[in-house]
Structure 1
Amino acid sequence: MSEVRDRLRQALATTSERLGAAGVPSPSVDARALIALAAGTERPLVLLDHLPTDFESRLEMLAARREAREPLQLIEGHAAFRRLRITVRPGVFIPRPETELVVDLLRQHHRGPLARVADLCTGSGALAAALLDEIPGTTVLAVEIDEAAADLARLNTAPWADRVEVRQADLADHDALAGVPVLDAIVSNPPYVPADAVPQDLEVLRHDPPRALYGGGEDGLDLPRAVIEHARRKLRTGGLLIMEHADVQGPATRELAQHIGGFEDVATCPDLTGRDRFLLARRSDDEGGQDPISHGSERLTR
């Protein structure tokens, strides 16, 4: 037992120092995750009374990958999202914790039934899977342009195969949602990074596919604009659009929704850190659209 403790203490100290020197934001937390992976366990490290004979060599391989700033989720092969463990793969956008809030916003702000929901730019399918998991009876259309991502979305939503359709389509195409019946809600975390805004995080720069980052156009809002246009065409009256965006894009996305028309209660909602991150817009029954923010507020809080 003391030998195991000594090996774990040494592994934690050296790996944490190594990751810290490489600029990893949370070296101690990541070191513990890599140690557990090398030990082949999901139990708390303090409860371990045995380590594989090749523990150190396995840890060395894993630490080298994280030291090179490969995301921890790719090394582990999964990412936590709401109540789920989502499979992740190289070349597909890794789901982010802030996107989890979309489910809460949908529950809080929707009116009427939630029988049919679309997740546009679904990526790994994390958000679609969370909706299927947490809203019984809901059917979800998950739309994704990238073939590898669409395949992964099918895997991650497989437990609810009878309630989900994963469609590979380009939202820039006006007919991408052809044949889809009227929807109660549309959620989306589309690419929205402007063309000249190069990500600073090495994990993002080296491992997230550009197609999942850059939204098109100088302002990065070509794809978000397409999402809003599809929402106007496909949402029922009173149906809700929730779209994630960069924290500086609140005014621009509200303006897009107002310009496209057909929406009321157009507002921006913050994430849990207080940053403006989500456009909320409700489909009006006026084809010309209504004045936004009928209740007089441009920013919703939870």
Structure 2
Amino acid sequence: MTPGYEHPSPGTDRTPLAPILRRAASDLVDAGVASPRTDAELLAAHVLGIGRGRLALVGTVRPDEAARLSELIARRAQRVPLQHLIGTAAFRHLDLAVGPGVFIPRPETELLAGWGIERTAPGATVVDLCSGSGAVACSVADETEAGRVIAVERSPEALVWLRRNAGSAVEVVEADVTDPGLLGELDGRVDVLLCNPPYVPDGTRVPAEVAEHDPLDAVFGGGDGLTVIRPVVAAAARLLRTGGALAIEHDDTQGDVVPALLRADGRFTSITAHSDLTGRPRFTTAFRGF
């Protein structure tokens, strides 16, 4: 018997967890949630204050725990993002604080972060543009020996979460990445520049969790989705040192367009398109030429 999760004695009002999870998953299926069983289990683990892997050891729950889980399942069925309900988003080795006002980091962005991490030498200067929650910047700071990691974000709402996640490991700069003078003091001195900008073309249909809860200016990037990407390319050419590394995430419809933008700029070499976990075009990398 697992300590803390005893089976109920006769006369107690504890409730078996297994049927609660089955009903919860069924409710989430009916609501159109993409990962109903996973979400139900993560919410149960959150309520119980344990890791998801320990749920199999739980026989029963108290009435207050069952009620809290029922409330969270109902909100998830209304398509409130799972991360808002539990207060964190997993990203690489981190659990980031997230909530209303900040874009929830996606698993596909872990690939872009990993590419940048692999190219961050000890003492390097790394810049993360459109930082949002700080997922990319905080991962670089966590997994490398970078000398400086700078996260740039303009949204006051997102900055609250960014500063909370950054702590003292990441320098936070409140600025608009489309500003032609952005980080001018670092011109030609940045070793790695990473960016997950708003890139979804205006009018694209997105899931309810995105449309109703992600900040729209962190999702949509103009008619062609390139309104922010174009000035980011120019900023990268100015900020990166010779040989410096660049990675920009983009929409799966922009797998040819973003590499073409970098080629047209004329200051980048080794331009390479990369796919996400589902095989769709997702980010483009390059290096600052001589």
Give the TM-score, by structure 2 length: 0.90
Question: In the alignment, is the contact (CA less than 8 A) between 1:78 and 1:88 conserved in 2?
Answer: yes
List aligned pairs for 1:1-20, cutoff 5 A.
Answer: 1-3=6-8, 7-20=16-29
Is the Cα contact below 8 Å between 2:121 and 2:146 reproduced in 1?
A: no
Which residue number in structure 2 is paired with residue 152 of structure 1? 161
CA distance in 2, matches of 1:175, 1:280: 23
Q: Deviations 1:58-83 (Å, cap 9, x if unpaired)?
A: 12211111010111111000011111
CA distance in 2, matches of 1:88, 1:136: 25
Any unmatched runs of 5+ in structure 2? 1-5
Q: In the alignment, is the contact (CA less than 8 A) between 1:70 and 1:203 conserved in 2? A: yes
Contact 2:153 2:174 in 1 (8 A): yes
Give the SS at the match of 2:152: strand
AA in 2 matched with 1:117 = V
Q: Residues 52-71 of structure 1 correspond to what in structure 2 (within 5 A)?
A: 52-71=62-81
The amino acid across from 1:94 in the alignment is I
Q: Aligned match of 1:203 in 209, 212, 234?
A: 209
Q: Which residue of structure 2 aligns with residue 171 of structure 1?
A: 177
* Structure 1 equivalent of residue 276 of structure 2: 271
| 1:254 Cα deviation after fit | 1.1
Asked if structure 2 preserves the Cα contact closer than 8 Å seen for 1:190 and 1:244, the reply is yes
1:224-246 CA-to-partner distances (Å, cap 9, x unmatched) read: 11111100000000001101111
Could you tell which deviates more after superposition, 148-157 or 182-191?
148-157
Equivalent position SS for 2:261: helix
Partner of 1:35: 44
Query: Aligned match of 2:149 in 140, 155, 162?
Result: 140
For the structure 1 residues 237 and 113, does the alpha-carbon distance in structure 2 shift closer, same or farther, using more than 3 Å as the test?
farther
Is this contact kept in 2: 1:150–1:167, CA < 8 A?
Answer: no
How far does the alpha carbon of each residue in 1:155-207 deviate from its partner, in whole angstroms, 9 at most, with x for none? 1111xx1x4211111112101222235100100100001112131x1111111
* Cα distance in 2 for residues equivalent to 1:119 and 1:10: 45
Give 1:111 deviation, angstroms.
Answer: 8.3
Extract unaligned runs of 5+ from structure 1.
286-302
The number of residue pairs the alignment matches comes to 279
- State how far apart, in whole Å, the 2-side matches of 1:114 and 1:282 are: 19
Q: 1:184 aligns with which of 171, 175, 191?
A: 191
- Name the counterpart of 2:34: 25
Give, in whole Å, the separation in 2 of the partners of 1:22 and 1:204. 15
Distance in 2, matches of 1:117 and 1:25, equals: 35
- My pick for the range that moved more, 88-97 or 149-158, is 149-158
Report the residue type matching 1:64 in the other structure. Answer: A
Q: TM-score, normalised by structure 1?
A: 0.87
Amino acid of the structure 2 residue aligned with 1:172 = T
% identity of equivalent residues? 43
- Displacement of 1:88 after TM fit? 0.5
Residues 214 and 25 of structure 1, relative CA distance in 2, 3 Å threshold: same
Cα distance, 1:49 vs structure 2: 5.5
1:246 matched to 2:251? yes
CA 1:215–1:95 in 2, change beyond 3 Å: closer, same or farther? Answer: same
CA 1:230–1:9 in structure 2 vs 1: closer, same or farther (change >3 Å)?
same
Please show how residues 101-140 of structure 1 align to structure 2 within 5 Å.
Answer: 101-108=111-118, 110=119, 115-140=124-149
The answer to whether 1:219 aligns with 2:236 is: no
